[in-house]
Structure formats: structure tokens, C-alpha cells
Chains A and B, each alone.
Chain A
Amino acid sequence: MASIDDSDESLMVAVKEGSHQAFSILVRRHTPRFFQMAYRLCGRVQEAEDMVQEAFLKIWKNPMVWKDDKGAKFTTWFYRILFNQNIDRARSKKPVAVDDEYLQSFADDKNTPEMAVFVSEEQKIIEAALNSLPERQKVAITLCFYEGVSNSQAAEIMGVNVKALESLLMRAKMGLRDFIKGHDASVFDGKGVLHGRSR
């Protein structure tokens, strides 16, 4: 009998044995976190929801892909599923161009009920800068900076070694710097002051 106090890994063993209750506990426990990760990668509420739903259904339909004997953490493993889905998504559609239309979409999101955060001009530029990165660099930054995943875990999720991950992070930072220099230097201001710009 699965309970809410069980660890993710033991719940996953129960899911393999067909426990829908264990699956429900996992879904309720992790949906917000995984949704936020997916949202950071794709930038759209609907797409992020679809990604999370698809990933959970994948493990429900085919739980045998979970190998509990390898000692992997459930969250690391799930991030990997999301990462692969994101790569597939990025391959199947055209890259989002950093243009007025893209920036406008953030302004539109601001008016929707689910987007209850203040989206400033500055944040739009940050989103555009992150979106200008190649997909793998963006994932590396998202995992290491926003999800707080360690470098070795992030490397495991992305299926690369730690050196390669560090290289991805380095190139991502360079790319971000270049983008900011080319667009708006004021975002770089560590004091949060937007120079020569009216809010």
C-alpha cells in the first residue's frame, strides 16, 4: 500500500507493480516542479503542461523503463525524460526567433490568469537572451542555475560527461553576454537600475 511518506523510488517500484495510487502520489508531488522546469525550457504554459503530462503517461504506460537497481534518483531520471522530450520538441518545430512577435507573447501571457507574475521589459530581454541560446546550452543553464542540480547530475541528465557540461555552461554564458551587449547593456547592471530607460 503506497503512502505519501514513501520515497519517490519506492513509489516507482509500486508503480511497476501496477499501483495507480503510487502513481497518483508521484504526480501530485512533482507536477508543479516539473511543470516549472518544462516552462523554463519552452516558455509556453500549454506546451509545458503537455510535456509533463506526456512524460508522466510514458512512465505509467511503460514502467519497466525504470531500473531501480541502478540507484538513480527519480527526479534525475524524470528530468532526463523531460530533456529528451524537449530535444524532440525543438527538432520538430522551427526555432523561436527572438523578434517582436516573441517578445509580444510575454506581454500577452501577462494578461492571462495563470501568468500572475510581473513581466517587465528587462525580463523580456532576459527571456530573449536565454532563448537565443542553442537548446543544449539553454538546458544546461536551466538545470544548473534554476533547478539547482549539481554539475554531475546535470551531466547525467543530459547524457554527457562533466567536462562537456562545463563547456556547455561556459559557451552559454558567453552567448548570453554577447546577446546582452548587442541589445541592452543596462540589464547587466547588478544594482537593478535600468539606465536611460523608462519603465
Chain B
Amino acid sequence: MAVDALHRLEALVGAEVYTTDPTVCQQHAFSGRVPRAVVFPRNAAEIAEILRFCSQHRLAVVPLGAGSKGPLANPPERYDLALVSSRLRGVIFYDPGDLTLSVEAGLSLHELERLVATEGQFFPLAAPFGSAATVGGAVASGLDSPWRQFYGTARDLLLGAEFVTGDGLVAHSGGRVVKNVAGYDLHKLLIGSWGTLGVLTRLNFRTYPHPGPPHLWLARYERWEDAAHLLRRLRGSVLRPLAADLLSGWWAERLLRQCPAGQPSFKDPSGLQVVVDFRGSAAVRTRIERELRTLAEQTHATAAVLLAEEAAQTVASAWRELLSQLLVERADGTLFRLGALPTTQPELAEAIQALAASSGVGAHFLVRAAGPMWLALLPEEQGWPAARWARLLQELRQLLQNASAHGTLLYAPASAGTREATPGDANAATKAMQALKDTFDPQHILAPGRLPTSVGAR
């Protein structure tokens, strides 16, 4: 029956939009799951027509941009149709004087960044996978950037959106101006929803004046307590850095690889590195440098260095892409996003490191001062210890619950086996989220099961 239905979809939207070409289908596979057809709709009305049809026939649809984050989150449980935004690449308007713009969801993030740069402006979403990612995918995945310390996340930048619900309603919320409280902010629900609530078609953002080239300062620490202390001081500081992250293990090593020769102490990946990006006029930077030196002393840094401007540019680019680089270099690892109160982070990190070591994996942290703790668990020998995976995950859950920390499993290799759903958690928040899913996608056809698994406390 489903095969017949798909054929009828072709008749409905035309061969220009619809294909079952095996090569094209293969290009849109998720972790080995291949769709039976791919559509390249040209506008929201066409998407609405497709989704109404798929809702009626209960065909599972996965909205896709460039597919750059395909390996992240959970693979879809069912997958009939890939809905690709590559034909939605327009700039609806850009009003530099108002610092606002509206673009179609399939526009590439880099293209948008280049556009605002022509007006001396900055688009601080700066999500990873930037060289391939679409704006819609960056928003739907809800991934953050180092610069959230100053600019916030998609939630703070997205002013309004147009999207299509699972049952084919073209809807708008928010607006194009920087201040607006009319109606429910439904677009905020789509941030980080991984395509499970609607298909984003247009996005309205605010932009910012360009802050000038990055100025990076690095400090080395031996103890979690000290490094985390610096991070907390920066988070609540009048210095207002643009970014401040704490890196350990692989993350630190990968970033420091970008540092030029002549800074040998920062090529050694052992220990903990704090990286700070601060900008401003020469007078402001001199002041911040002075304050950072004092802070480093007070928090027992073992070394600190200010990068030269050219090096800073290279390191900043690599910094932004650490998450995507992890998947390129260490697809055998797993990636979690943990949320814990800053004061509880050192103890939690050390407990996780001890747990990981006992399971033959290394725990590598990327902690944002104003954000989550990104945790990569990387096997130390060849191959993921699949047999120990279930137990490790269970013990990690326990640690997180004891620390009242929440967590999301964003990536695991196929060899790790199935990702069990979070057990026993039909609490009120889960029920409310299910009610929203039922509201936006009554037939549950949109990216079924793709929302990442929750692994911590609620």
C-alpha cells in the first residue's frame, strides 16, 4: 500500500520535485537507512501538499538540509521520504540598517555569513558543520557555538519563522522586528527539535555589528577545580568575553594543533586548557589582558599566553568546528551534551573520567562558560567496547542523576548497538512534549524517533 501511495505522490508533485533514483536515495541515507524517495520542493506550499499527503498515508518524512548532521541525534525509526531544502535558498530581505534579515531555510550558513560580512556585520549563530550546513539545519539541530557566551543561541537570535506542520499547515510565528510579543513563540519550539515538529521554510534573524578580529588567550591548568573556577569567574565577569571554553583531552589537542610553532607549552595536550575570545578597541583589550593575567594567577594557571592575531584567526575557525571535527576524526566515539550547574561541574567531570577509565574509554570535555559540557567518550584501543556500552551508559545515567545533571546523547557509532529510550520517564514535561508533538504532527510522520535520547536527570 505504501509503495502505491509514494507513486501517487510523484503524480501529485511531478517528476521535477520527486525522485526514486537509487543513487539519490542513497545520498540521503541515515546510518544505513535509505529513503524510498526524495523530494526537492520549491516552496512552502509544495511542502504543505507533500506533508498533507504523507500524513494521510502515514509515510515517514525526514526534513533535511545538506545532511551534514545526519550522523547526529537518533536515526529515524521509519524513513519513507527525504524532504530536502536545497531549492529553498533565497534571501527574502536583508535590512542592514535594522540589523535584521529573513532567509529561506536551505541557504547555507556560510553564504549567510558572507552576506552579512559585506555590510560589516556578524551572524553569531556560528553553529558547527558551517561549511556544509544550512541555516534551517543549524536551527533545527540547536547546536551551539563558542560565541554563545556573548550572543546567546538560536533562541536569542531567531525573531520569527515560517514552517510547515506534519499535517501540512503553513504557519508563521514571531515576526521580523527585534522586539515582538504578538502570539505564541512557536518558532522557539522548532529550535533543537530535529525536524520532529515541522519543516522550517523561512527564518528571520537579528544580526550584529562585526566585533572585529578574534583575540584569543589561552591558560593551562592541572586541576579541574582551578580551571572551572576561572570559567565561572569569566561567566559572571564585567569583562564580557565573546567566548570562554574549557577543553580537555582530544578537544584541547585538536585545537592546540592549530597553534603556530614557538608556543611549545601549548602544543602539549595534557592538562586542561581554557580558551577565551575577547575583542574591542586597543584600550579595552589592554585592560582585559591585564585582568586575565590577574585571574590566571588567582586561579593557579600553570601557563598563559595571548595568541598572535593571525594564529587567533586560525584557532577560532578550528574552535567553531571542534564538534564536526570530532565526527570526522573519531567516528568511533560517542558524544553527549550535559547540563550541570557550573559549581558542580568539576566533581561531575572527575567522576565521569574515573568511570570512563574503568571501561577502557577516555572522557574528553569541552565545557562552555555559558553553556553545556560537551562530553566525548573515545575508546582508547581499537574498536568501541560494545559489550560494555550498555553498562557504561547505565552508570553514566546514574552519575548524572546523582548530580542533578541532565544530558542528551547526540552521537554513538552504529557498533555501539541500540540506543534504548530513557526508561521510566513519563513525567509531566515528557507528557507536555508529547502533547506538542501530537499538535504539530498528529500522524507522527515527521522524523520519527529522531529526537536525541535523554540520558540524565529531568
Q: Do A and B come from one complex?
A: no
Interface residues, chain A, with chain B CB atoms under 8 Å away: none
